Amino acid sequence: MAKSRTSIFFCQNCGYESAKWMGQCPGCREWNTFVEEPVLPSQGAVKKSTASGAKTARLSEIVIKEEERMTTKIRELDRVLGGGIVQGSLVLVGGDPGIGKSTLLLQMCRNLSGDGHRVLYISGEESLKQIKLRADRIGSFSDSLSLLCETNLDMIEQIIRRELPEAVIIDSIQTMYRETVSSAPGSISQVRESTGVLMRIAKGLGISVFIVGHVTKEGLVAGPRVLEHMVDTVLYFEGDRYASYRMLRAVKNRFGSTNEVGVFEMAAAGLREVENPSEYMLSGKPAGASGSVVACSMEGTRPILLEIQALVCQTFFNIPRRTAAGTDFNRVNLLMAVLEKRAGLSMSSCDAYVNIAGGVKMNEPALDLAIVLAIASSFRDRAVDEKTVVFGEVGLSGEVRAVSMAQTRVLEAKKLGFSRCIVPAVCMDQLKEVKGIALVGVHTIQEAIRSM
């Protein structure tokens, strides 16, 4: 008889399974992430399945009723969730430690409980006193919110079944464990098993469950990436820890559109919604400086104006330095090559630094033209007109290509008091006249440089 395996190696970063230890994970290419974990006895193996209870259904027989949604009263969060919390949904909130996940969810609990919803906040990371200290900073709370400090998930399951709250917050999944799994809390097996239990609670009892998951590059704790397929909605909370703004993105959403973002600012009394991100991103933009261009990026259905900065200067080394902060480094290199070849800007002996001001990360191709103009502007030391917004994708032949939702972008520029837009010429047909905005359609990057 074949010897049954009692343990297996898991990559702690992406969940890749392997029968033997490996130095590098073939799945995610991270080094030194394999940890041995015991195999759980499969419960289905002994029981014979019978299909007597199962029934097939026709599409016409299925009745859909409008999902019931609770509003969190945080508009930015509601938007990202697709219009509120769906009853019985399982939501994963991921992000670096210290980014503000606990704060956001506690603020959500405050609003939900203020509306009379019964909410249970379970923390495996902080003591009740620490939660109280945080709550005091946020504001006053109603008594519909109950707190629990516990990490044993079997115990938590019993408490939830007894109290039957409408929403449960698990902070964080990496601290939870089940007694039946012998590996340490935070390991892939534990995280997977715990999420399974929470999924049963959410679907079985119709309770909305929010799970906090820390993402670490080192792969020391099981990355929540392995859970992404188990949950209904995955939200990522990101931003520079040292800058005050934060962005909440939906990466997956079974109940709404992905690509929506919510913008927040970390203040002394918790997270504050930023209703007009463009204004926020452009605050502090230098006047009349070369290398600074205002671009417009779409985040879901929302246009956000931002400042692209470039600094091009003589290099002192054989190989010039190139860096990109907030945007794709390879894309910047490509655009510089296009500038060099198609617009004749000789930058082989120049260092170039490109930065999106405010510490945001944006990778939309529509930013290409603004990056190109920022580099050209810094190289020639000639400022781009201050009242101009630029967007367009740049191709390898130096052509400026169409982007989606051009009209929305132009209207956003108008709203923020800009008077001119440099746009792809191919977008000109579909653009309606906007009062107070001069539209400049360009075919190539040379044309764009001439009109900057």
Site for Mg ion, rule CB under 5 A? 102
**Residue with the shortest CB distance to ligand TYD:** 102
Among the residue ranges 12-20, 83-91, 92-100, 340-348, the one whose residues contact ligand TYD (CB under 6 A): 92-100
For ligand TYD, the closer CB: 214 or 342: 214
For Mg ion, the closer CB: 269 or 438: 269
For Mg ion, the closer CB: 102 or 233: 102
The CA distance from 271 to 74, in Å, is 10
**Residue with the shortest CB distance to Mg ion:** 102
Among the residue ranges 68-76, 215-223, 262-270, 307-315, the one whose residues contact ligand TYD (CB under 6 A): 262-270
Q: Of 130-189, which residues contact ligand TYD (CB under 6 A)?
A: 134, 137
> Least CB distance from residue 359 to ligand TYD, whole Å?
16
For Mg ion, the closer CB: 125 or 447: 125
> Do the Cβ atoms of 292 and 286 come closer than 8 Å?
yes
Nearest 10 degrees: CA dihedral of 264, 266, 268, 271? 40
For ligand TYD, the closer CB: 203 or 241: 241
Q: Give me the 103-132 binding string for ligand TYD, x by CB under 6 A, dash otherwise.
A: x-----------------------------
> Do the Cβ atoms of 185 and 151 come closer than 8 Å?
yes
**Residue 98 makes contact with ligand TYD by CB under 6 A:** yes
For Mg ion, the closer CB: 102 or 189: 102
From the list 13, 77, 81, 101, which residue makes contact with ligand TYD (rule: CB under 6 A)?
Answer: 101
Q: Of 11-30, which residues contact ligand TYD (CB under 6 A)?
A: none
From the list 227, 266, 312, 336, which residue makes contact with ligand TYD (rule: CB under 6 A)?
Answer: 266
> Do the Cβ atoms of 428 and 439 come closer than 8 Å?
yes
In the complex, the residues that contact ligand TYD under the rule CB under 6 A are: 95, 97-103, 134, 137, 266, 268-270
